[in-house]
């Protein structure tokens, strides 16, 4: 009799069995709605609705993403709670903060590297430089006098500038701003000479001729500004990108991890997702957990020396 009832229930609601096969998924974002991490998380959430039900994006902004990381660190390792975040909290913060409430390596399970993005070395109207070599020659002729702006002290573009100085022997003066917008205003107004920032922040200004992106920092040219060489093409032995990734709490079971990774990597590699990412200035990836772990390890090492050179230590 019980079997008959179950069969009838399935006939009345044929999707009930399917729904039960789809576990719920909460994607935590450590930044406000509308930002880049939030936009990416919602695009991924939409793409995963055939694999999980429901998919919920929860914003827990504050402390540069550390509040959200705390939540995911404490979550049960059942595959129902993950985080989407930029690379900074996982590869910069361990060097920048005197004390963190999490270990970026041992407290989380890498799931997938979602997308990469790169940075530009940008010259404003105050600079006569047309190439990176021009910029370096100018800086060496006037040590410490040329300025570069960034979105803020302790941000990745700040350390990108320090790494650039280390690699080229140029001496520049860092001017931090409260975000990329104010830095752009200062650059356009001739108040600073150069700027290091995400390519998408200045690509339109470059195309309109108001600023000049002299080089990009990735291994390949950026499709937003394909005429701009990479630093390596310009003769500078430097390569540095940032990324967005998905992590879960430590201790995810192998089968649970495989299920999430398969769904996420498949979503990121679909042509329509690649096109959406390209429009946002990102290179869609969708890696394995091992590839994300290797990328994190490499970047933790890459940024240690530039960060220590700045003397920046935050509480």
pLDDT digits (tens, 9 = 90+) for 215-230: 999 999 998 999 999 9
Domains 19-116+242-310 and 118-216 share a fold: yes
Residues of the chain with pLDDT under 70: 1-20
Among 161, 119, 104, residue whose Cα is nearest residue 300: 104
- Output the CATH code of domain 118-216: 3.40.190.10
Quick one: pLDDT at residue 4?
42
pLDDT at 20: 54
Encode pLDDT of 232-241 as tens digits: 999 999 998 8
Task: State residue 16's pLDDT score.
Answer: 40
pLDDT the model gives residue 62: 87
Q: Note the pLDDT tens digit of each residue in 167-211.
A: 999 999 999 988 888 999 999 999 999 999 889 888 999 999 999
Angle between helices 271-280 and 254-268 (to 10 degrees): 70
Q: Are the C-beta atoms of 256 and 249 separated by less than 8 Å? A: no
Exposed / middle / buried, residue 275 (Cβ in 10 Å: 0-12, 13-18, 19+):
exposed
19-116+242-310 folds as D-Maltodextrin-Binding Protein; domain 2 (3.40.190)
Domain ranges of the chain: 19-116+242-310, 118-216
Q: Which of 154, 157, 155, 134 is nearest to 146 (CA)?
A: 134
pLDDT at 69: 97
- Global pTM reads 0.81
Half-sphere CA count of 224, side-chain side, radius 13 A: 26
């Amino acid at each position: 009799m019980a079997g008959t009832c179950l069969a009838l229930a399935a006939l009345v609601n044929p999707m009930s069995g399917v729904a039960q096969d789809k576990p719920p998924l909460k994607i935590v974002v450590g930044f406000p709605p509308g930002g880049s991490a939030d936009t990416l998380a919602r695009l991924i959430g939409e793409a995963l609705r055939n694999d999980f039900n429901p998919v919920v994006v929860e914003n827990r902004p504050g402390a540069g993403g550390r509040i959200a990381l705390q939540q995911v660190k404490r979550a049960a390792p059942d595959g129902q709670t993950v985080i989407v975040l930029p690379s900074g909290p996982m590869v910069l913060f361990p060097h920048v903060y005197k004390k963190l409430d999490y270990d970026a390596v041992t407290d989380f399970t890498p799931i997938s590297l979602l997308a990469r993005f790169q940075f530009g070395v940008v010259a404003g109207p105050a600079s006569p430089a047309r190439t990176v070599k021009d910029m370096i020659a100018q800086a060496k002729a006037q040590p410490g006098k040329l300025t570069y702006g960034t979105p803020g002290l302790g941000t990745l573009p700040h350390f990108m500038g320090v790494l650039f100085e280390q690699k080229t022997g140029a001496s520049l003066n860092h001017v931090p701003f409260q975000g990329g917008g104010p830095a752009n205003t200062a650059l356009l107004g001739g108040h600073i000479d150069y700027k290091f920032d995400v390519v998408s922040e200045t690509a339109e200004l470059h195309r309109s001729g108001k600023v000049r992106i002299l080089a990009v920092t990735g291994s390949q040219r950026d499709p937003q500004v394909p005429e701009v060489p990479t630093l390596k093409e310009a003769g500078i032995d430097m390569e540095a990108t940032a990324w967005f990734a998905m992590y879960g709490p430590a201790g995810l079971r192998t089968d649970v991890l495989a299920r999430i990774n398969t769904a996420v990597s498949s979503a990121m590699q679909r042509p329509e997702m690649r096109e959406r990412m390209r429009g946002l200035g990102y290179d869609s990836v969708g890696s394995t957990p091992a590839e994300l772990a290797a990328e994190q390890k490499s970047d933790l090492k890459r940024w240690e020396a530039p960060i220590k050179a700045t003397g920046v230590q935050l509480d």
